Structure 1
């Protein structure tokens, strides 16, 4: 080959190579890689029990009737529902549905599909029993009209309809795949399920016919990366675009956050959550060191809340002042004044007034397993030691800890609640209604006619402003009873590559939707 032929060949090859490289870069910009610590569980609404990874995938593959409006997530907007009305007694919900929407398998969405989906979840998902059992009847009025009748008023029901378990599935796909539908989930959402490899990844592809408009991304890949340090390295090197904390402070070590904030190739997105972590008393006990409210007050004043937030969390968590976080629409601002302040001297005085000798207490401090909970437990243990109480830490696996708490075999335990629907009911009813004391990891409240009546009234009052006033009162009443020491609320933190745009973080549930996300 002469030199001129070689030059000519190179001239042809260079544009081809440049085009290929450009196409590869363009594909990368259209693909979002999300690092997750484990395989997702329950990729479809009928079996989902609020496991974070599977739940997030559901909200990107499926649609719900309603959803919380970004960026504030303070009010509901229609998704598959175009509009709705609620009867004066709060029991009947009439929905008008969007027309022309199709499932990803090409079959039409209609009211019958909604009825099929909700009844399927109600029949097969025990996680939603407490709320879905309120559904008395679902009536298909027409292909675009649906009526849901409840057996009792429940204003938070619309919030329940925004959850992953309420997403609408393709009846045709369920008929086709049967028990294997979870491996072939089909919804109406912005992304369609493509594939899943155990311990490797889950791949979603854009739905070009999505009724709200095609997503800006072509593909989402959830990469399974169990090790936190590896997730950080992949983020810094561009191997992944997003790493989420999801309120657990386990995705990337807290001490690494400062370094990531200083990295120009990474942005750290933080927002307040509605997650509460607390030191709970066994309030059903009528004897023991904490049966006296003054002894409980003593413990509440023994905790160095600011020291915990800064020392253990380095600013990645916030103070909780009572039964609701301060970003809840029903939070009572007066709770900031009523909340206990760190005062070891007052704590010792209150113990004496309660007739409790701290040296006589042999206390087991139960907590979840893991380094985060170990650090919190050690901090609380030191605070208790400062007022003369000797506590031994018992880090326990979740099933065993749940059994201990529901059976009442404890005095104090570190616990918490992560609400999966945006309503004060998610914290108040389950945590403090005495009839539910033994049903879950609650504050095990004793029978209390007045407080129970207030809780049920707030749960069932249709008007939101009236409910808000009731929840204000409930928070003050709970504060008087000192059922626990409210410790912290972990922030929701998402680490993203600097070129990721359009991501808005929802606080309840703490799950991301990627329809509006793009890379530049």
Structure 2
């Protein structure tokens, strides 16, 4: 059996000495010898162009909502910068030899923001709330592998049998069958603990009156303007250094850039077309953080609607005519890698041998004719939807222009993020831009979540792709415990998916962000699961300001 966290400190004085020594060591490593964090101050940054669609963890599916929620809520576990699972509310855990049973010891002094202590029963309530059919969560796949979860979701059982309370602070979770990345799933926002009394009080409005156990507490939400959080002085892992975080909604990326240059934002993204200018600027270049992300951007086809339903040659033709190298070089200034497959570089199972769909106009024309639509004849009116943002608009216009080269006409339609997500979830689209950033560093999070037929729709498979052979391969890979065999199965499934072309595979993401020199403790935490400007996996409680910026 495996244990997550060994050891304990026996005396109060010993605990305090170790904590103090650990804090000094951590500070010297993170900030440099002789530098200790400063308390106080308000941290301003932008969520980008739109409001979070939801702050209820059971309905969080996007990076914008995640950025706020990660400061409000905690689960059993979380990730460190190296994307390894680390303790959160669970201080240790044991996994059974067959890989099915997980027993968690919870920290005894964790409190919700209303002051009530957290118990194992709160986790059972939160997990069953996620799975309950009345909740209509888009993220039931996080916990549906628990024993009895599917019966509970179908209304055939009053309890999830795989959730057992062994004591006030002891929780046991049992899976139907082994699932290697299960611990990583528990770090996802949907698996956060929430107080029953508050969800009962607010009902569906809990999204706008959120309460958890996190390092920051909800203060206010001025829609289309800002979300404000205050520090939680009683946080179980120590009070944040900051007094407050202000997440601002700023639709225009040049406005965000100017606000940063004026000192009104602590960090921000880089406007489209300015990356090389920033990199060559003697001042701004010193503020730049740039690194790869475990994510992919794509134009997706709705495979339940004509003309793309049942017509892989048409989808392949669209793939071949879109020049991904040009997208990466011209629009994104060579800061991203063109995509040839689904799993990004750095992800376990990434297959460098897959070639994808390099630009080939002649091949695109031939496939279009073989699909029954030579020179675009017989195609219905096509619309490509995308969410607000200059880079999204430029990519959409580029794709529109490339398709025009094979006589295919596409109309463009831009929408605000929450309304756009709702439209895509319902399947009321033909072509749509949507990216994906890893929730946890496992191929299952890309291939099974995004392409297994059981996840069709808002659960993740928004292209409505279905292939029984792929489903079978993914089921075998998901249930395997041998890493090499899992990788082999995922690669086989990915190869089939790429050949079926449910997406136009555009590029893998990068994280490019400008950070004010006064900001400390942020740069060191940015991981491959972060995206700019939200940086939703950074622990903001560890960030501090050398001086006030406003």
TM interval, shorter chain, is 0.7 to 0.9
User: What is the match of residue 517 of structure 1?
Assistant: 543
Tell me the distance in 1 between the aligned counterparts of 2:137 and 2:321: 40
State yes or no: 1:505 paired with 2:526. yes
Structure 2 matches for 1:324-339, cutoff 5 A?
A: 324-335=343-354, 338-339=355-356
Tell me the distance in 2 between the aligned counterparts of 1:404 and 1:117: 27
Give 1:453 deviation, angstroms: 0.8
User: What is the match of residue 212 of structure 1?
Assistant: 237
Tell me the distance in 2 between the aligned counterparts of 1:62 and 1:405: 25
User: What is the match of residue 264 of structure 2?
Assistant: 239
Tell me the distance in 1 between the aligned counterparts of 2:353 and 2:182: 28
Q: Residue 32 of structure 1 is aligned with which of 43, 57, 60?
A: 43
The answer on whether the counterparts of 1:192 and 1:207 sit within 8 Å (CA) in structure 2 is yes
Structure 2 matches for 1:410-449, cutoff 5 A?
A: 410=430, 414-434=433-453, 436=455, 442-446=462-466, 448-449=467-468
The answer on whether the counterparts of 2:297 and 2:433 sit within 8 Å (CA) in structure 1 is yes
The answer on whether the counterparts of 1:319 and 1:488 sit within 8 Å (CA) in structure 2 is yes
Tell me the distance in 2 between the aligned counterparts of 1:418 and 1:66: 19
TM-score (norm 1): 0.78
Change (3 A) 1:340 1:43: closer
User: What is the match of residue 43 of structure 1?
Assistant: 55
Tell me the distance in 1 between the aligned counterparts of 2:508 and 2:377: 32
The answer on whether the counterparts of 1:361 and 1:390 sit within 8 Å (CA) in structure 2 is no
SS of aligned partner of 1:390: coil
Change (3 A) 1:42 1:299: closer
Tell me the distance in 2 between the aligned counterparts of 1:222 and 1:401: 20
The answer on whether the counterparts of 1:56 and 1:513 sit within 8 Å (CA) in structure 2 is no
User: What is the match of residue 110 of structure 1?
Assistant: 119
State yes or no: 1:56 paired with 2:67. yes
Give 1:163 deviation, angstroms: 1.6
The answer on whether the counterparts of 2:301 and 2:308 sit within 8 Å (CA) in structure 1 is no
> RMSD of aligned C-alpha atoms?
3.7
Tell me the distance in 2 between the aligned counterparts of 1:96 and 1:437: 35
Q: Residue 305 of structure 1 is aligned with which of 305, 311, 324?
A: 324
State yes or no: 1:470 paired with 2:489. yes
State yes or no: 1:100 paired with 2:125. no
Change (3 A) 1:445 1:193: closer
Give 1:199 deviation, angstroms: 5.1
Q: Give the structure with higher Rg (CA).
A: 1
The answer on whether the counterparts of 1:105 and 1:173 sit within 8 Å (CA) in structure 2 is no
Change (3 A) 1:58 1:303: closer
Tell me the distance in 2 between the aligned counterparts of 1:481 and 1:278: 15
Q: Which runs of 5+ in 2 are unaligned?
A: 1-36, 150-159
Change (3 A) 1:452 1:50: closer
Tell me the distance in 2 between the aligned counterparts of 1:160 and 1:395: 34
Give 1:184 deviation, angstroms: 5.3
State yes or no: 1:357 paired with 2:374. yes
SS of aligned partner of 1:220: strand
The answer on whether the counterparts of 2:365 and 2:374 sit within 8 Å (CA) in structure 1 is no
Q: Residue 171 of structure 2 is aligned with which of 116, 124, 146?
A: 146
User: What is the match of residue 361 of structure 2?
Assistant: 344
Q: Residue 167 of structure 1 is aligned with which of 189, 192, 212?
A: 192
The answer on whether the counterparts of 1:289 and 1:361 sit within 8 Å (CA) in structure 2 is no
Give 1:309 deviation, angstroms: 0.9
Q: Residue 368 of structure 1 is aligned with which of 386, 400, 406?
A: 386
Give 1:65 deviation, angstroms: 0.8
User: What is the match of residue 276 of structure 1?
Assistant: 296
CA displacement 1:171-225 (0-9 Å, x = unmatched): 5666787777556544332223344445554333333443333333233222344
Tell me the distance in 1 between the aligned counterparts of 2:288 and 2:472: 44
Give 1:236 deviation, angstroms: 0.8
State yes or no: 1:390 paired with 2:411. no
Change (3 A) 1:389 1:199: closer
Q: Which runs of 5+ in 1 are unaligned?
A: 1-25, 246-251
SS of aligned partner of 1:342: coil
Give 1:514 deviation, angstroms: 0.6
State yes or no: 1:377 paired with 2:388. no
Give 1:322 deviation, angstroms: 0.9
TM-score (norm 2): 0.74
The answer on whether the counterparts of 2:302 and 2:308 sit within 8 Å (CA) in structure 1 is no
The answer on whether the counterparts of 2:451 and 2:465 sit within 8 Å (CA) in structure 1 is yes
Name the stretch that deviates more: 493-502 or 98-107: 98-107
Change (3 A) 1:199 1:392: closer
Tell me the distance in 2 between the aligned counterparts of 1:457 and 1:414: 30
Q: Residue 515 of structure 2 is aligned with which of 492, 496, 518?
A: 496
User: What is the match of residue 26 of structure 2?
Assistant: none
CA displacement 1:430-485 (0-9 Å, x = unmatched): 43334555676644435x44322102212222444432222122222323334443
State yes or no: 1:65 paired with 2:76. yes
Give 1:95 deviation, angstroms: 1.2
Tell me the distance in 2 between the aligned counterparts of 1:298 and 1:50: 31
Change (3 A) 1:404 1:142: closer
Tell me the distance in 1 between the aligned counterparts of 2:68 and 2:475: 34
The answer on whether the counterparts of 2:297 and 2:508 sit within 8 Å (CA) in structure 1 is yes
SS of aligned partner of 1:108: coil
CA displacement 1:277-315 (0-9 Å, x = unmatched): 324455568x96996655554443332211111212223
State yes or no: 1:255 paired with 2:258. no
